[in-house]
Amino acid sequence: MSDNTVLIIGAGPAGLAMGGRLRQLGIPFDIIEKSAHVGNAWREHYDRLRLHTVKEHSYLPGLPFPDEYPLYVTRQLMADYYEAYAKAFGLRPHFGEEALGISPVEGGWAVRATSGKAYTARHVVFATGVNRVPYRPSFAGENSFTGQVLHSRSYKNHKAFVRQRVLVAGMGNTGAEIALDLSENGIITYLSVRGPVNIVPRDFMGRPTQKTALLLARLPNWLGDWIGAQVQSIAFGDLRPYGLEKPVLPPARQLRETGKTPVIDLGTVSQIKAGRIKVVPEIDMFTERGVRLADGQEVEVDSVILATGYRAELESFMPFTDGLFNTDGLPGQCIGQGKYEGLYFLGFDNYKPGGILGIIRQESEMIAEKIAKAG
């Protein structure tokens, strides 16, 4: 049994941010992390990944990025930064320790871990992230397919797909960028899109769109939404001839109401317009040599990459979640109340503009203040 004032579950950016805040306040805590590294997801992402948000809005509390870092920080530099952050604040997680479940006990909460160890704390911060568990749907006929099927989490770069025909299923940010990576390297690329998709440029007229979005958020919603829609139209024009429909909701309203982040375009649209990425409907079923699509056409491919997203699956930690999570399985607020007093959820708010790292910096301060007052 290990006792401390606070237990942080996860040593990704949210867990590190929380640890940094508590260290500055002198509040004792433990961190458990199932992998062997802090910020481990950034070590495992595909090679070309960069932040889609600018560095001045993406650092963790108390330690801005080094001046020499680029505006959009690379995957490797992010991993290096998280290691440096842990060192700067003396954060020493218990690695290889994964939470299995949590239950209320007198004076706080008990968390069971894979080692058999139990941690008790008055305050428990879930920092496991919205991308904890890959979502991997199954399809009819998949077992008959002679090619390979993999989730996007396993994708590193184009080299394993040279001279192949590849279908990427799903046009979120990951799917769009993987399709871009493949097509830019001469690989025949199909991008399967289920329905309408909001796309915004990463930069517009020399200015990061994130900065524009933060300014627009200060305006009345109707005006900010209208301006955002005009930027979309000017940047891309009508994409319907290329197989891409635009949702009824403009990007900012979609984010506010559904938590669904628009696709941040890094060049995928240009590749689509040039015919190097062919947009096709969603997969209906697999065939021996490829897939049959929802419109009945069949496409022969060698590999299918499922960019079908992730789930937080917080409910797997606790059996008593009535009223705690919304329909997306995410907590409605970062600070638990009532019977959930003492539980905190950092890094799960997808409904605000500006990027999740900026939200983590803001909400970690709120949580730290609450913990300090509670004692």
Can you tell me the distance from the alpha carbon of 174 to that of 197, in angstroms, rounded to the nearest whole number?
Answer: 14
Cα–Cα distance measured from residue 351 to residue 331, given in angstroms and rounded to the nearest whole number: 12
CATH homologous superfamily of 136-306 equals FAD/NAD(P)-binding domain (3.50.50.60)
- CA distance linking residue 223 with residue 268, whole number of Å: 28
Give one DSSP letter per residue of 63-111, joined into a string: BPPPTTS-SS-BHHHHHHHHHHHHHHTT---EET--EEEEEEETTEEEE
Distance in angstroms (rounded) separating the CA atoms of residues 124 and 306: 34
Per CATH, 2-132+312-374 and 136-306 having the same topology is answered yes
Where does 2-132+312-374 sit in CATH, by number?
3.50.50.60
Residue 264, beta-bridge partner list: 200
Query: For residue 332, what pLDDT is reported?
Result: 84
SS3 174: helix
Whole-structure pTM value: 0.93
pLDDT (tens, 9 = 90+) of the chain, 375 residues, equals: 466 799 999 999 999 999 999 999 999 999 999 999 999 999 999 999 999 999 999 999 999 999 999 999 999 999 999 999 999 999 999 999 999 999 999 989 999 999 999 999 999 999 999 999 999 999 999 999 999 999 999 999 999 999 999 999 999 999 999 999 999 999 999 999 999 999 999 999 999 989 888 888 899 999 999 998 999 999 999 999 999 999 999 988 998 888 888 999 999 999 999 999 999 999 999 999 999 999 999 999 999 999 999 999 998 898 777 878 888 888 889 999 998 999 999 999 877 777 899 999 999 999 999 999 997
Instruction: Give the total residue count for the chain.
Output: 375
Whole-number Cα distances in Å, 288 to 162, 164, 308: 21, 16, 22
Contact 85, 60 (CB under 8 A): yes
Torsion of CA 69, 74, 76, 78, to 10 degrees: 70
Evaluate whether 131 touches 153 at the Cβ level (below 8 Å).
Answer: no
Buried b / exposed e over 109-118, threshold 16 CB at 10 Å, is bbbbbeeeee
Amino acid letter for position 49: L
Decide: 42 and 69 in contact? Cβ < 8 Å. Answer: no
Sequence-distant (≥ 6) Cβ neighbours of residue 77 within 8 angstroms: 69, 70
- Strands of the sheet containing 283-286, edge to edge, are 283-286, 290-293, 298-300
Domain extents in the chain: 2-132+312-374, 136-306
Rounded-to-5 percentages of helix, strand, coil across the chain: 35, 25, 40
The residues near 260 (Cβ < 8 Å, ≥ 6 apart) are 198, 254, 350
38 contacts 82 by C-beta, under 8 angstroms = yes
